[in-house]
Amino acid sequence: MTQDADPLEQKLAALKTAFAASVPERIVTIEAAWAEFTAAAAPDEAFEPFYRAVHNLAGSCATYGFTETADRARALCDELYDMRDTKTLAAPDRRPRVAALVASLRGTVPG
């Protein structure tokens, strides 16, 4: 039974490594979506791709055990969710907090 587990563990480790390698690109995608969101004349239209990218990162990082990145992405997700619910997507006073949360993802890239 141990022999059966080793190939599976190796495959899981390879998946985790491949995912970890994709995280920097996912963060770049989030940063680009944030830039589009802040520049958008209609933030409602730019919100969904930004939120989806953050939400997907949070969930995937949690699945692969990258808890620091998952926690920071989840905090960003919560902030965005609140902005949507309170209809403050265009509120300039919310942007510094979101910008800080986006920037905080950079320091958590799994290695």
Q: How far from 9 is each of 19, 40, 66, 70, 98, CA to CA, in Å?
A: 15, 45, 17, 22, 37
User: What average pLDDT does range 61-73 have in this prediction?
Assistant: 96
58-89 in b/e form (b: 16+ CB < 10 A) is bebbeebebeebbebbbbbbebbeebeeeeeb
Residue 87 binned pLDDT confidence (cut-offs 50, 70, 90):
very high
Six token digits for residue 65: 């055990």
pTM of the model: 0.89
Average pLDDT, whole number, for the chain?
Answer: 92
27 by Cβ neighbours in 10 Å (0-12 / 13-18 / 19+) ranks as buried
Residue 97 and residue 76 in contact, taking contact as beta carbons nearer than 8 Å: no
For 19-43, write each residue's pLDDT tens digit: 999 999 999 999 999 999 999 988 8
Q: At what angle do helices 2-39 and 95-106 cross, to 10 degrees?
A: 140
